[in-house]
Amino acid sequence: MGGPHGGPFLLFHVLCFLLTVLEVGSQNSKACALWCPPNSSCVNGTACRCAPGFISFSGEIFTDPLESCDDINECGPPSPVDCGGSASCQNTEGGYYCTCSPGYEPVSGPAVFQNESENTCRDKDECSSGEHRCHNSTICVNTVGSYTCHCRQGWVPRPGFQDKQMITVCEEIFFPAWTAPPGIKSQRLSAFFERVQKMSRDFKPATAKKSMQDLVRSVDDLLKNSGDLESLGQSSKHVTATHLLSGLEKTLRTLAKAIPKGSFTYRSDDDTELSVVVQEQGKGNVTVGQSHARILLDWAVAAAAGESGPSVVGILSSQNMKKLLANASLKLDLEKLKETYESPVRGAKVTLLSAVSSVFLSNPNTEKLDSNVSFAFTLHEQPELKPRQELICAFWKNDGNGNGSWATSGCWKMGSGNGSITCQCSHLSSFAILMAHYDVEDPKLALITKVGLALSLVCLLLCILTFLLVRPIQGSRTTVHLHLCICLFVGSAIFLAGIENEGGEVGTRCRLVAVLLHYCFLAAFCWMSLEGVELYFLVVRVFQGQGLRKLWLCLIGYGVPLIIVGISAGAYSKGYGREKFCWLNFEGGFLWSFVGPVTFIVLGNAIIFVITVWKLTQKFSEINPDIKKLKKVRVLTITAIAQLFVLGCTWVFGLLLFDPESWVLSYIFSILNCLQGFFLFVLYCLLNKKVREEYRKWACMVAGNRYSEFATTTSASGSSHNQTQALRPSESGM
């Protein structure tokens, strides 16, 4: 098997096989490769070439059987095909073509081309060709390469749609619903809202400008010929004003969207002015001006969020609106004013100086603006400012319950000059210039009043207890003194607790306090006049000492002031209560319901005292005068005159307290008012010997000591005096 000739023979066969293989490989190198992928062609037995429009990872020719030929995107980077303007490149499998962009069409030539030189594209007017898809509530407006759908004049986009879009859907503008404020009964107001309802029924967007002018004239007619609106209470007037201002703002904003773009100003016969500017949304500032006021703001503030239609800026200035806003309260920044005046500020009396200007925008959300708004208000008369007075920029603030008041938060004065005042605000509402007279509280005066009145109440209480418990001094004049002190005690207590009107609104509580004060102080003067009558009976009627009975004293002392107060309240109940103090109102001469009777009483007592002094002079000049009795009568007369002087002088200054122009008068009244009780206590108690003896006796009883011999003697003397009193009550009363 492995003979000597086996090796050479095997080597021969191997060489033959190798030669055969080499020959076969040489033949295959000249043949086409069988593995070329799609979109390619064979180059030779080892390489393939990608077709035009395709390329492999290695390039046009590749030798790797794992590679493929992919489409070349001639329309994309790095070297896109330039089809020219208003045209777009469209890639295809292995090629590309150019077509006009949407919204364009070729002027001539084929619709498909290969390069810029063949481009003839121009804008296509979809609106005239009818190729648009605008809703029938809109108007098609052609744009370069497209179109938009605009709301018709007097139409606005439906909720959820925007203007100037290809899918915009609009609805016609309607006159806003506006009814009378609930709870306000007025024939004039009802007639006004009947006219408003007629305007609403007859409204057409094409006549929106005329409707705005008719509305302004109707408001002027309502405020100028107010009729029964004048008889409304202050709160009802402010509710009506709040309702009118908010309704006008809403209605004018809606109607202004229906008028053509531009600006217009309307001035009524009653000097009410309406200025409106309507334009497409833009950047920069806009100024709307008239003779009463001017406003400067950014257009971005005027546009509502998400709104694409024209923007509206308008201002309505009315002089007649002052009638409803008279005597309105002002909400103050008390902390800031306290720093300015270095004392607490309790309130302010305001005077409306400018027209009431209401601003309305397309944007209804104006409580907090992105940028401040500037105002310039015209003052036809420049006021002369006094101490504690200043001009402020205020706005009418709705309290959420239908009522309103003036406020200053978010507004500040920038400057003044040439008959105008410039303000800035961070929100919008109805604005005006007010002159505020601040009621600055004097801490020293308040302390004197409270401490002094407390001391006076203590003294009056001691007087009342003395007149009730000290038996040796009982008599008709003691009865007069007792009820005089009771009236002053009750009046002073009410004065201390409720004279100040904290809220500024005259309500039931404030009126009740004013009525009670009116009655108590009138009763005090009536009892003081009865003391003069007692002196008349004692001195003028030949010392008979026969005075009025206690029943008649009470009927006169409490009945007369009750009749006066009853007639006053029935004739004019609104005369009770003021903005700052719960006292009688100065308007219409109502204060004379107190001043008149007091003046009559003071003059009557003065005449009685003159007659008394004249009679005493005659008695002293007689041959055998009763010196002891004359001296007692003289003392009584002097004390009565002193009492009249103190009470009379107190209320001379008291009439000036409730409108203080001088700190001196306020201090004098407070001191005299606080000393009334102390003065009466000294005059009728401490200076009376019998009272002092009773006080001494009470002190000994409280201390637990037995009566001294002096006290026993005093008691005996008092007992003897009581017997005398039983015989001569009028004399013991002295």
Query: Taking residues 642-657, what's their average pLDDT?
Result: 55
Indicate if 647 and 592 belong to the same structural domain.
Answer: yes
pLDDT surpasses 80 at 544: no
Per-residue pLDDT, 274: 95
Residue 516 lies in a domain: yes
Indicate if 241 and 331 belong to the same structural domain.
Answer: yes
Per-residue pLDDT, 495: 86
DSSP codes of every residue in 579-621: SSBSSB--GGGTTHHHHHHHHHHHHHHHHHHHHHHHHHHHHHT
* Angular region, 109: left φ>0, alpha ψ -120 to 50, beta rest: left
Q: Tell me: the pLDDT tens digits for 202-224?
A: 999 888 999 999 999 999 999 98
Q: Show Cβ contacts of residue 393 under 8 Å, excluding neighbours closer than 6 positions.
A: 375, 377, 408, 411, 412, 413, 421, 423, 425, 431, 433
Count of domains for the chain: 4
Indicate if 152 and 239 belong to the same structural domain.
Answer: no
Domain final residue, candidates 386, 405, 439: 439
Please tell me the least confidently modeled range out of 290-299, 426-435, 536-545, 706-715.
706-715
Indicate if 240 and 344 belong to the same structural domain.
Answer: yes
Indicate if 502 and 546 belong to the same structural domain.
Answer: yes
Please tell me the least confidently modeled range out of 507-511, 585-589, 671-675.
671-675
pLDDT surpasses 60 at 486: yes
0.75 surpassed by pTM: no
Domain span including residue 144: 138-172
Per-residue pLDDT, 634: 56
Indicate if 419 and 521 belong to the same structural domain.
Answer: no
Query: Taking residues 360-386, what's their average pLDDT?
Result: 86
Domain final residue, candidates 439, 456, 481: 439
Neighbours of 502 (CB within 10 A): 12
Place of tokens 């009138």: 522
Indicate if 287 and 152 belong to the same structural domain.
Answer: no
pLDDT surpasses 50 at 73: yes
Residue 133 lies in a domain: no
CATH number of the domain where residue 580 is located = 1.20.1070.10
Indicate if 426 and 319 belong to the same structural domain.
Answer: yes
Q: Show Cβ contacts of residue 63 under 8 Å, excluding neighbours closer than 6 positions.
A: 46, 47, 48
Place of tokens 């009964």: 185
Amino acid at 389: Q
pLDDT surpasses 90 at 316: yes
Indicate if 624 and 541 belong to the same structural domain.
Answer: yes
Mean per-residue pLDDT over the chain, rounded:
80
What percentage of the chain carries pLDDT values higher than 70?
A: 78
Mutual orientation of helices 443-469 and 663-681 as an angle, nearest 10°?
20
Per-residue pLDDT, 4: 42
Per-residue pLDDT, 19: 46
Q: Could you give the CA distance from residue 642 to residue 650 in angstroms, rounded to a whole number? A: 12
Query: Taking residues 662-682, what's their average pLDDT?
Result: 74
Indicate if 641 and 594 belong to the same structural domain.
Answer: yes
